[in-house]
Structure 1
Amino acid sequence: MTRVPPGAMMKIFRGLRNELQKHKLTPADIMPVAGIDPGTLEDRFTGPAWEGSVIAKTGTLVRTDGGASSLVGQMKTARGDVLLFVIMNQRGGVLRFRQNQDRLVMQVQNSRGGPKSFGYKPRVLAMKLADTQSISTSANEFEPNSKTGASPP
């Protein structure tokens, strides 16, 4: 099985940030904000000072590699620094890995004056679904209904 090394994951995350900027979006628009958004980061970084200071994606494999957990994202410090990070752990308890990930992020933030919220406010993005028919679509491109034999218009 191929594994994504931390350096490659950082390149992916940087590329994602660059692509989002082109569309006037930020990682908070598509990734969970710790302590605020529902999901695996909802109950992490929840103190008043920490809430909203970490935007990240988790990854968990309970059985593979004897237990594996990752946290990839960005944190903000009281000095205004936005620091990108990739933390990957394997061969151990997933819950302990998560505690260690949180502790490491908090230590880095504390070493730079403490955490600072990104000022995240949830935003609903408009989503346009692709049309199922277009000018070039013809009736013979659809599967006939197996019960009636009819094709969509």
Structure 2
Amino acid sequence: AGWAVIMDFFNPLSQIWYHALFYFVIYTALIVFFAYFYTAIQFNPAELAENLKKYGGFIPGIRPGSHTKEYIEKVLNRITLPGAMFLAGLALAPYIIIKFLDLSSNSGGGSLVYTFGGTSLLIMVGVALETLKQIESQLLMRNY
């Protein structure tokens, strides 16, 4: 009986999770965390500042070196939070729409969340953008 309660708690379709505020808060927190995590992995402000300095580039009004690194870190932190909140809103939009339109799984609307969920939408948009970049690079290579 104990395992059944635990399994039900971690089942995303259970009533404990489905449309619960706790679920939305955890989901949003994970999206924000992974947005910052991805940004930290992809962008190294120290390396970017060093490359700018090495190749003679600079940010107007900012001294090259450590000042540039600090400025890039500050800008990355400012940009990442609104982007992460937008991603969270986009990922939660189907759940919120179904909750406010009262489309429960009894009326067939609950399956809509899993068909066109926010995460699926993000993946489709990401793949479409990457495909467009690849097509554009192929066309540029063909012209030269």
TM-score tier after normalising by the smaller chain length? under 0.3
Bigger strand share: 1
TM value normalised by structure 1: 0.21
